[in-house]
Structure 1
Amino acid sequence: MEVHTEIKKRVFNFGDRSADGNATMRNLLGGKGANLAEMSRIGVPVPPGFTITTEVCTEYNQVGMDATIRLIREEVETSVKNIGKIMKAEFGSDDHPLLLSVRSGARVSMPGMMDTVLNLGLNDRSVESLARLTQNDRFAWDSYRRFVQMYGGVVMGMKPRSKEEIDPFEEIMEEIKQDRGIELDTDFTTDDLRLLVRRFKEAIKSRTGKTLPEDPWEQLWGAVMAVFNSWNGDRAVYYRTMHGYPANWGTAVNVQAMVFGNMGANSGTGVCFTRDAGTGENVFNGEYLMNAQGEDVVAGVRTPQQITKLGSERWAVLAQIPEAERRSKYPSLEEIMPVVYQELFEYQRMLETHYRNMQDMEFTIQNGKLWILQTRNGKRTGAAMVKIAMDMLREGLIGEQEAILRIEPIKLDELLHPVFDTKAIKKARVIAQGLPASPGAATGQIVFHSDEVGKFKNAILVRLETSPEDLEGMHLANGILTARGGMTSHAAVVARGMGKCCISGAGALKINYRTRTLTIDGREYHEGDWISLNGSTGNIFEGKVATREPELTGEFAQLMKLSDRYRTLRIRTNADTPADALAARNFGAQGIGLTRTEHMFFEVDRIKAMREMILAATTKGRRRALEVLLPMQRSDFEGIFEAMDGHPVTIRLLDPPLHEFVPHQLTTQKELAEDLHISLEAVKSKVAELAEFNPMLGHRGCRLGITYPEITEMQTRAILEAALHVKSRGITVKPEIMVPLVGTLEEFSSQRDVIRETAEQVFREYKDRVDFKIGTMIEVPRAALIADKIAGEAEFFSFGTNDLTQMTYGYSRDDAGKFLPIYLEKGILKADPFETIDQKGVGTLMRIGVGRGREIKPGLKIGICGEHGGDPASVEFCNSLGMDYVSCSPFRVPIARIAAAQAAIKKQAGNS
């Protein structure tokens, strides 16, 4: 492939209080690189380094390794020399070696999803120099051991090949620990570390047939390309797909001078947050380890300690450790290094104020000197997201519009999940205690391996600690429980980003992957046993614990009121029962955009009458069965109208094909024949007659009402009689009758006439009237194209985006699962069109429908009622078309409210 060698900057330097880039360049430099540059500019102590841009990642994927190295070699060599000048060392030198870290950095935070190599530049000669220069043999060989382990795993492929296989390096380490009778990595002597390096190299040679490179430049190019490769690694691809990040973004590569937290008792490393990532409280918090490197903190192998004294005391209470023992064994950074702690505290305050957002920071202390390795907007739970936005608004850090834009609408879903019932939780048996890493309530069956979470509908993933390879299982599980790790472990950080309930560091757990058992205080639990997690307290309960529905209160309610001041779209709900309607009303729904009347026919006492109507050979027979259904439907509509007092209720006439209502099993067919006093053959014959080759395009929607107008008559009567009954009780009712699946003006007109004639008959009988509207669903592409014709007679349009998407693409929702995942994986489709509106195709039809409809009737009320009504991107698109409302499921109403407010703010900003 042709290599583009045009002159452009591909490498950006930072450090020593200067930088080529800044925080606005995250698309080019990635989030980490942009923030490193910004911190350098504002005086934060950042190890010097450089960023290879995301564009180079794209070029690498096009032209390969050798061509990419030719493109960037000169800039990289110059930048490495620049780092050496600042650090007074030389890369590749045997006497004063400069060591480097190589890390990824996408434009959005993807914690643990891509690869890192630390201590790069060490070899058999430079390790001796490092020992001599630092007068610390153990530190030098510990750093070399770590480099060989990371480079072997990341660059040379020394990773477990199956879930049953132990990491080859960990296996060697455990073997030596057993021989030496030690438990922790920090217990290794210098001789142990020398032995580990030799054994690691032998393992690499044995498995890969290759020798670990001694040449530091070969090491550097191998690490850079490995980071680029990790952008398309399984876990990164899964994470991108889960969050909807495009594959063509690429990752930057950040190369920095190494600073060492493993130099001894006066060195350490940690992770901290400017606010609580779980609750949103305005408290500085985090974890650290002395004599360690950064990976040790998040890996969960050693128990990290709390940064603040207050945090340490709280942690000790949760971990049930006496205060005296806590002070001696697990002191806070604030207690043992007060000067460094105060410096860190000032930098965290400085960075939060500068970025006006909660920050997640990584730091290293090298011989008492503090270095900040990274800052980024911290991952947070949905509850923390809301609290932080509202707190920062009150503190004057951000304005109202910024507070609204800070919300990820889809994360509000976390606040709408059930929580443990107060009474049930009091009776539940606590079997263990861990750290409340990510709040929420989770009940499920124990699963020990990430790739087996799908065994159970509700699963709790139980691990010693998680790693990036566990991502898919974590995503599918109800909750995550680990025996090791702290509040900044991989499990904790990733779970908070997902909004998953997580408890980490539950030390009482004894997990045996081979026997698939969990033992707590001598009691054994097996795979499939039920447990419950309270991620807000760290309590682990035996068995199932009952839950209750959440409420829209406190800062969540305040946020909703704030968003309502800015949005122009009204938010309705899709609801088929009074209970759903009331739940949606409590979440702020301003009406119902879709009531599916067919759902009311499937209950046991109604399906018989429905089947009698379908099997009737005459109109008279059908009317007799419909008379039985009439009071049932009328009662349902009354309940819905009452719940939506004063708000419009759109009711769709019968839509699905009749074959969905008839029995297809012989036993049920026999029962029906006996109930209706007809022959089994007659039932079989009718079932066969109703069968359709393609029900999606068959005898359904308005076609049913045209073929059997008595169905439309009964449903119209039920709707309007219910409205009159409710009106007589002093309730304001606003019915809207919607004709489904219209493709011609004549189809709509035919049904409209039946509705009007029936309505006038009902009004005469009751000697009273209610105002009501007759409209249609725009779900057939032809209806969008002739919207000007239909608008002349319809009083409202509602886009049924589910069917409109099916018919525009020619995909069946029921069968698309066979190929859509492959389409998304191969990039044939950028997004699932059933989850977010396809704006180029389906969206064009919608734009035509809205435009032509309002040419004829400027005040025509238009909305959507497909599942897309709760998708933030689709809400923004509907707002751009000037629609009046979107309708979604009850529990997505708050999501739609905030998405509509964000859409209005963005539109206003674009117009200004």
Structure 2
Amino acid sequence: HRQVDPRVKRDVIGRGIAASPGAATGRIVFNANDAQASAARGEKCILVRRETSPEDIRGMHAAQAVLTERGGITSHAAVIGRGMGLPCVVGASSMRFDLVKGVITAPDGRMFKAGDEITLDGTSGEVLCGAADMLEPLLDATFQKLMSWAEDAADIGIRANADTPADAQTARNFDAQGIGLCRTEHMFFDPSRLTVMREMIFADTSEGRRAVLERLLPMQRDDFIQLFRIMQGQPVCIRLFDPPLHEFLPSTRTGQRDLAEALDLPLSNVTRRIEAMTEYNPMLGLRGVRLGVTVPEIYEMQARAIFEATIEASRDGDPVVPEIMIPLVSAKREVELIKASVDKIATAVKSERGASFTYRLGVMVETPRAALRAGEISPHCSFLSFGTNDLTQMTYGLSRDDAGRFMSTYVQQGVFPEDPFHMLDRDGVGELLQLGAARGRDAQPGITLSICGEHGGNPESIAFCRAAGFDYVSCSPFRVPVARLAAAQLAIADKIG
């Protein structure tokens, strides 16, 4: 990553959590649209938000770095920033954010408005005034040699979390051993797809939803073809749709009015539907496998897209063996229902295309109940992948987006030795991992075990997973080199006692 030259004097105007490493300079913008406009003009910008949401993805891609007032080490901005290699500072609560007036105020009273130039250091968590001199990254032959030694020594696999072809190419460049988590929902926030997605949400019948999803099918299929071709010969684990549907609907009055016009519906109908879909706690609501059971058309479309892409990508290279992962499982029956549906789609695609393929179906273990009932669930699966971000959140009853407000105080006072979203909690969450792994393997000895949360890039957490007999860890693409090095060092340490 690019870094601020350590020899330069730093004019620090604020501090937050160092959520994604690297440094960047740019002019302040306060929304995704302005970030895109800035990029179109060839101007570098820093996206400043109270906190980011999936709707900000386009702005994050256009920006050089992201600064948020709220959030912790596994907040949306932090996770996406690390995946993109985008410098990110979150939880900068020492600064005052006034997004209505378009101003951020430093603790010393200095004010910065849209267009002002700042530098973000995602490695230290500092926000600097103006432009700072940078040191460029150097991935030379020495780096490649070190990574080849690590490859020879390591005895636990390292995959990458990758949602886009660019992520997948980064993972490939760093010699990740496949994709351990592809979050498909980010593919639907593209402007050309978002309106279609919203039309599907507003459809009143199953047939209506299927008709709209038919228009999304070729787009989703092309996404998977690109991923499979980039990762040719390597496994690709695709997580089925996870977030609640209301995340795709506009929250502002202007956005709701635009949606009403696009769908040719009365504004009152649109606002009423959005209000009806609002949840008290979306993290614990109608999302993940619960959507797959109650709105099955989405998973049916995704399964078809995956299988059709598998056939297409296998024509001119090694056969693709996709891995399909069901999110937020807590009961065996959920897996049985989704497995029956996916198997049915696979049979239909094979018959229609006159082609043969294999696939692996697995579960993302991110609820405590799924870990405890892994013995019931694993006979229906090829793999169990522990999503430690949500599993930590649910085990602690602690929002990963809000924890940043007080976590440093907790660590300083000795309540926790380390932020559990940053370093895996071996005692609590770790025990659930060990229970789930043991019960899963007792019921299905050959099942593959992995973690795919942000802990996958943390050396201490990799040590825990290796000792527990996990097959691989999966982390953000830019953390793959550190994970590969840590895995090699752990294996060598064992050999030399």
TM above 0.5? yes
TM-score by length of 1: 0.42
Q: Give yes or no for contact 2:232–2:317 (8 Å, CA) kept in 1.
A: no
Residues of 2 paired with 1:756 and 1:749: CA distance? 10
Match for residue 415 of structure 2 among 804, 819, 828:
828
Residues of 2 paired with 1:649 and 1:454: CA distance? 46
Matched, 1:730 2:317: yes
Q: Look up the match of 2:44.
A: none
Structure 1 residues 831 and 695: CA distance shift in structure 2, 3 A: same
- How many Å apart are 1:476 and its aligned residue? 3.9
Structure 1 residues 584 and 623: CA distance shift in structure 2, 3 A: same
- How many Å apart are 1:553 and its aligned residue? 3.0
- How many Å apart are 1:529 and its aligned residue? 4.3
Map of 1:509-548 to 2, 5 A cutoff? Answer: 528-534=129-135
Q: Look up the match of 1:765.
A: 352
Structure 1 residues 478 and 698: CA distance shift in structure 2, 3 A: closer
- How many Å apart are 1:551 and its aligned residue? 6.2
SS in 2 for 1:633: helix
Structure 1 residues 840 and 733: CA distance shift in structure 2, 3 A: same
Residues of 2 paired with 1:639 and 1:474: CA distance? 32
Residues of 1 paired with 2:349 and 2:145: CA distance? 44
- How many Å apart are 1:859 and its aligned residue? 1.6
Map of 1:578-589 to 2, 5 A cutoff? Answer: 578-589=165-176
Paired letter, 2:353: Y
Could you list the per-position Cα deviations for residues 254-296 of structure 1 after superposition, in whole angstroms to 9, with x for gaps in the alignment? xxxxxxxxxxxxxxxxxxxxxxxxxxxxxxxxxxxxxxxxxxx
SS in 2 for 1:568: coil
Q: Give yes or no for contact 2:117–2:131 (8 Å, CA) kept in 1.
A: no
Matched, 1:648 2:308: no
Q: Give yes or no for contact 1:651–1:737 (8 Å, CA) kept in 2.
A: yes
Q: Look up the match of 1:470.
A: none
Matched, 1:459 2:60: no
Q: Give yes or no for contact 2:256–2:270 (8 Å, CA) kept in 1.
A: yes
TM-score by length of 2: 0.75
Paired letter, 2:459: P
Could you list the per-position Cα deviations for residues 166-210 of structure 1 after superposition, in whole angstroms to 9, with x for gaps in the alignment? xxxxxxxxxxxxxxxxxxxxxxxxxxxxxxxxxxxxxxxxxxxxx
Matched, 1:778 2:365: yes
Q: Look up the match of 2:451.
A: 864
Could you list the per-position Cα deviations for residues 423-463 of structure 1 after superposition, in whole angstroms to 9, with x for gaps in the alignment? xxxxxxxxxxxxxxxxxxxxxxxxxx9979997884389xx
Residues of 2 paired with 1:474 and 1:627: CA distance? 44
- How many Å apart are 1:817 and its aligned residue? 1.9
- How many Å apart are 1:853 and its aligned residue? 0.8
Residues of 2 paired with 1:578 and 1:644: CA distance? 9
Match for residue 886 of structure 1 among 459, 473, 492:
473
Paired letter, 2:455: H
Could you list the per-position Cα deviations for residues 567-614 of structure 1 after superposition, in whole angstroms to 9, with x for gaps in the alignment? 111110000111110111110101000000000000100000110111
Q: Look up the match of 1:850.
A: 437
Q: Give yes or no for contact 2:118–2:127 (8 Å, CA) kept in 1.
A: yes
Residues of 2 paired with 1:585 and 1:671: CA distance? 40
Structure 1 residues 608 and 458: CA distance shift in structure 2, 3 A: same
SS in 2 for 1:594: strand
Q: Look up the match of 1:803.
A: 390
Match for residue 675 of structure 1 among 259, 262, 280:
262
SS in 2 for 1:593: strand
Residues of 2 paired with 1:766 and 1:863: CA distance? 33
Structure 1 residues 836 and 460: CA distance shift in structure 2, 3 A: closer
Map of 1:246-645 to 2, 5 A cutoff? Answer: 458-459=118-119, 475-477=124-126, 528-534=129-135, 550=137, 552-645=139-232
Could you list the per-position Cα deviations for residues 485-541 of structure 1 after superposition, in whole angstroms to 9, with x for gaps in the alignment? xxxxxxxxxxxxxxxxxxxxxxxxxxxxxxxxxxxxxxxxxxx5435345xxxxxxx
Q: For structure 2, which runs of at least 5 residues remain unmatched after alignment?
A: 1-11, 19-81, 88-105
Match for residue 754 of structure 1 among 323, 341, 346:
341
Residues of 2 paired with 1:666 and 1:584: CA distance? 40
Compute the RMSD of aligned alpha carbons: 2.7
- How many Å apart are 1:729 and its aligned residue? 2.1
Residues of 2 paired with 1:891 and 1:452: CA distance? 36
Residues of 1 paired with 2:432 and 2:133: CA distance? 48
Structure 1 residues 572 and 454: CA distance shift in structure 2, 3 A: farther
SS in 2 for 1:792: helix
Q: For structure 1, which runs of at least 5 residues remain unmatched after alignment?
A: 1-162, 164-237, 243-412, 419-448, 462-472, 480-527, 535-546
Paired letter, 1:587: F
Residues of 1 paired with 2:123 and 2:340: CA distance? 55
Residues of 2 paired with 1:661 and 1:823: CA distance? 35
Structure 1 residues 417 and 627: CA distance shift in structure 2, 3 A: closer
Residues of 1 paired with 2:139 and 2:354: CA distance? 42
SS in 1 for 2:133: strand
Residues of 2 paired with 1:460 and 1:632: CA distance? 35
Structure 1 residues 716 and 663: CA distance shift in structure 2, 3 A: same
Paired letter, 1:459: T
Q: Look up the match of 2:491.
A: 904
Paired letter, 1:562: W
Residues of 2 paired with 1:694 and 1:579: CA distance? 32
Structure 1 residues 676 and 809: CA distance shift in structure 2, 3 A: same
Residues of 2 paired with 1:454 and 1:647: CA distance? 50
Number of positions where the alignment pairs a residue of Structure 1 with one of Structure 2: 397
Residues of 1 paired with 2:423 and 2:298: CA distance? 34
Identity of aligned residues (%): 49
Matched, 1:664 2:265: no
Matched, 1:744 2:331: yes
Structure 1 residues 883 and 460: CA distance shift in structure 2, 3 A: closer
Q: Give yes or no for contact 2:350–2:356 (8 Å, CA) kept in 1.
A: yes
- How many Å apart are 1:805 and its aligned residue? 0.2
Q: Give yes or no for contact 2:160–2:181 (8 Å, CA) kept in 1.
A: yes
Residues of 2 paired with 1:858 and 1:690: CA distance? 42
Q: Give yes or no for contact 2:118–2:131 (8 Å, CA) kept in 1.
A: no
- How many Å apart are 1:903 and its aligned residue? 1.9
Structure 1 residues 532 and 624: CA distance shift in structure 2, 3 A: same
Paired letter, 1:744: A
If asked which structure has higher relative contact order (CA below 8 Å, sep 6+), I would say 2
Q: Give yes or no for contact 1:571–1:897 (8 Å, CA) kept in 2.
A: yes
Residues of 1 paired with 2:117 and 2:214: CA distance? 41
Paired letter, 1:864: I
Paired letter, 1:530: A
SS in 2 for 1:797: strand
Residues of 1 paired with 2:397 and 2:110: CA distance? 33
Residues of 2 paired with 1:551 and 1:600: CA distance? 31
Q: Give yes or no for contact 1:879–1:904 (8 Å, CA) kept in 2.
A: no
Map of 1:192-203 to 2, 5 A cutoff? Answer: none
> Based on CA coordinates, which of the two structures has the bigger radius of gyration?
1
Q: Give yes or no for contact 1:453–1:476 (8 Å, CA) kept in 2.
A: no
Q: Look up the match of 2:35.
A: none
- How many Å apart are 1:798 and its aligned residue? 0.4
SS in 1 for 2:380: coil
SS in 2 for 1:571: strand
SS in 2 for 1:813: coil
Paired letter, 2:233: G
Residues of 1 paired with 2:403 and 2:495: CA distance? 37
Paired letter, 1:648: P
Structure 1 residues 699 and 628: CA distance shift in structure 2, 3 A: same
- How many Å apart are 1:670 and its aligned residue? 1.3
SS in 2 for 1:891: helix
Q: Give yes or no for contact 1:453–1:459 (8 Å, CA) kept in 2.
A: no
Paired letter, 1:695: P
Deviates more, 1:877-886 or 1:819-828: 819-828
